[in-house]
Amino acid sequence: MADEYVTRRSVLDASASRRPHPVRQAIAQLPVAGGRTNKTGLSVMVVENLAALEPYVSAWEDLVDAAIEPNVFYEPWMLMPAIRSFGAGRRVLFALILAPNPARPLGPPILAGLFPLELQSQYQGLGRKLPFKSLRLLGHKYCFLCTPLIRAGYGREALAAFFDWLAAGAHGCSTMEFAFIAGEGPFHNLLIDYFDRHAKLNYVTSRFMRAMLLPASDVETYMRTAFHGQQRHELRRHERRLSEAGRVEYLALGPGDDVAVWIEEFLRIEAISWKGMGGRALICDKAELNYFVEIATEAFRRGQLMMLALHVDGRPIAHKLNFLSGPGSFAFKIAFDEEYARYSPGVLLEWENIRRLHAQSKVKWMDSCADPSHPMFDRLLADRRTIQDVVVGAGNLLGDWVVATTPLLRLLRRNLRRKPRD
């Protein structure tokens, strides 16, 4: 396929007499860094700073609503504050996939995909830094999923446009790392389909399973299926013992509540938890604290924040919060007062979360966002989802060579490290 570079005019209205559209003006003013059009007419525009990205926030929001797969961590209200808080010293790029609007061929294009990226000066491979550049999906400490956003109905075309842009090489990178993406689902299927149809070398560098909740027909059915008799008895025993210590209440943040009070209460509990004792609570880092307060407040305004609390005689002893996106819930934080640790308040509050998710119809699943083999979530949540890192060549010989040889080099390195047997 003969690719040709697009100019700013390829995405503008040809009629200069019309009143300029704000999105069209933004496209005209932004640099088309390696922009390319594939045979479907889609193009890629690269934006390198948040100021240049601002005109696209509305289109980005529309893309979120129409995405084939939800990822709350890549929604603008969550990702843009993360870049402001954690982006210092990092080269961040946004690859915007633009598609002609069939309803308005001369109007502004549709945002068909968004790939937040980070350019790394050295490839992190084989346990060491290698002397060539690499692109990877953008992540940070509080980003628990990096699956990019792709508009429904544009999957194959948007992914092909992204790989065409990669192959053009204007970014100067040799490899592309799809890090921390779902190992199943619509985007994963598109990626595997692309690799198969284009004989694209790829290598899974990391893969693990993490706990996930898929509600049953009702909570009692879930409990019988997910837990054996001893586990059910243990949950009830903890709740009974806690009720002996005082009046037990499970509370949920409501639309009319003061979210600032709930956020402050959560931060206070986390500060006296094991995380606070180990210097890992949010209040221990100003950037993390500001980021959390900003996204929690904005999520509440949008109706995408779920917060639960466990009180004993009016005293909060455990707090947790989830972020909602489409049919999914993403567990973000949970904390409890160490003074009540013998009652397992975190487990009790998570079980209350499971009960509440079964009592409504909007949320179809919950990603625990937990580490693999998490001691609490692996016991309470019966289902699992795959999270993996996949590396592919960016379109040059060096990248293909790295992807082809990395599995062998890792095997040799592992064998060389083995101790000789007697």
- Whether 11 shows a pLDDT value over 60: the answer reads no
Contact by Cβ (8 Å): 410, 126: yes
CA separation (Å) from 411 to 126, 405, 416?
Answer: 10, 10, 9
Taking residues 279-307, what's their average pLDDT? 97
The separation between the first and the last C-alpha atoms of the chain, rounded to the nearest angstrom, is: 59
Helix (H, G, I), strand (E, B) or coil at 133: coil
Closest among 347, 321, 350, 319 to 241, alpha carbons compared? 347
**What's the CA gap between 174 and 28, in Å, rounded?**
29
pLDDT of 88 strictly over 50: yes
The average pLDDT across 196-210 equals 93
Q: Which helix (H) or strand (E) covers residue 193, if one does?
A: helix 186-197
Task: Provide the residue type at 54 as one letter.
Answer: E
The pLDDT of residue 415 = 59
The SS3 call for residue 284 is helix
The single-letter DSSP state of residue 359 is T
Residue 415 φ then ψ, to 5°:
-65, -35
Alpha carbon dihedral 384, 267, 141, 358, in 10-degree steps, equals 20
Residue 15 has pLDDT above 70, yes or no: no
How confident is the model at residue 7, as a pLDDT? 31
15-29, 30-44, 139-153, 281-295: least confidently modelled range? 15-29
Q: Give the mean pLDDT of 126-146.
A: 85
Q: For 381-386, what is the mean pLDDT? A: 95
- The pLDDT tens digits for 340-372 are 999 999 999 999 999 999 999 899 999 999 999
Per-residue burial over 213-252, b if 16 or more Cβ lie within 10 Å, else e, is bebbeebeebbeebbeeeeeeebeebbeebeeeeebebee
pTM for the predicted model, two decimal places: 0.86
- Alpha-carbon gap, residue 14 to 17, rounded angstroms: 9
pLDDT at 227: 82
Q: For residue 101, is pLDDT > 60?
A: yes
- pLDDT (average), residues 149-177: 94
Question: At 59, which amino acid appears?
Answer: A
Q: What does pLDDT average to over the chain?
A: 87
Q: For residue 298, is pLDDT > 60?
A: yes
- Please give the C-alpha separations between residue 196 and each of 31, 190, 192, 373, 396, in angstroms, as whole numbers: 33, 10, 6, 32, 18
